[in-house]
Structure 1
């Protein structure tokens, strides 16, 4: 998958920003700019002050608060990067692993119902319902694809030790692009179907 294709196929943090702003509007009836103006008028100078004020005086908690915090105090630098910059950063010092990630992302970009969401340290794959896989550079020699899948451990599917309630308890470790084969893609397809 060429880098230029990734920007058109993947979503970045902007998806989360938009979602949080929409949540804020639904919860409060006011948009992020209105809230930022109110926060400035109240003399709020820190993120903690803003969060306490929104929770205690207005009952606004969670992700809806992030939208206002980012508007008032700025976005983290990594949230302003596009998809290519994010993936480039993940594999900057391990370029030999990039073709493995690119092969997995090429499958996602070409598969109906799969969506790519870029993050600073990993890439998540989502169905229309929820996240079903995560692609992460595991170490200097491998890329891990962690799956939310109901399938027996064995073969290439390894157990992942997780906290209670975490459904991403299976992974496939990839050390070469040749391992992104039909057997692996079948696991991805199964995870997508189970989470759609």
Structure 2
């Protein structure tokens, strides 16, 4: 488990008086099966911040990289029915890994979070026809292919939309590099 996740788990217990395992049991007792339902329940019924609610939801559903027995399985699941987007993922992954040895890939159920000291990008096979790169460049205006993100509740400030591996060009690479540099 990475240090940031462990710190969150430790702070959860300090801030709420209950351990992660106790919160997972509370959620399981409610029989909530969807990530959004769990987050909403914890925020409304227990006044959780989004970060703590998200942590408990992922751990309850075993949908984060730290809970999965095989992170490759999460990637396979993401691309089921969208296998034509795997070349995009593979090319972007290689380019991002080349940015520095401190890059961490954290697969989730539906996307891959990419972190340095903090998350700077997300790789998302969104639909069968649209691939999204989430970029964190808070305060930066929309420019070129970089659009303001209005859908991910602050997980990313911007999005780049792709449909084919050939859409990965110098502009895409430069936005990823800029996001990497600002996350350090």
Does the pair score TM above 0.5?
Answer: yes
TM range (shorter): 0.5 to 0.7
SS of equivalent residue, structure 1 residue 187? helix
Q: How far does residue 131 in structure 1 lie from its aligned partner after superposition?
A: 0.8
Q: Deviations over 1:8-36 (max 9, x none)?
A: xxxxxx447644555468x49xxx79x87
Structure 1 residues 93 and 19: alpha-carbon distance in aligned structure 2, compared to 1, 3 A threshold: farther
Work out the CA distance in 2 between the residues paired with 1:80 and 1:17: 14
1:12-161 equivalences in 2 (<5 Å): 14-15=1-2, 18-23=6-11, 27=14, 46=29, 63=52, 76-78=61-63, 79-112=67-100, 113-128=102-117, 130-149=118-137, 150-161=139-150
Q: Deviations over 1:87-121 (max 9, x none)?
A: 11000111001111121112222321322111111
Count of matched residue pairs = 154
- Would you say the 8 A contact 2:122–2:133 is kept in 1? yes
Aligned to 1:186: 174
Higher Cα Rg: structure 1 or 2?
1
Work out the CA distance in 2 between the residues paired with 1:169 and 1:159: 6
Q: Select which of 166, 170, 175 maps to 2:158.
A: 170
CA RMSD of aligned residues (A): 3.6
TM-score, with structure 2 as normaliser: 0.65
Q: How far does residue 159 in structure 1 lie from its aligned partner after superposition?
A: 2.3
Q: How far does residue 193 in structure 1 lie from its aligned partner after superposition?
A: 1.0
TM-score, with structure 1 as normaliser: 0.62
Which segments of 5 or more consecutive residues in structure 1 lack a partner in the other structure? 1-13, 49-60
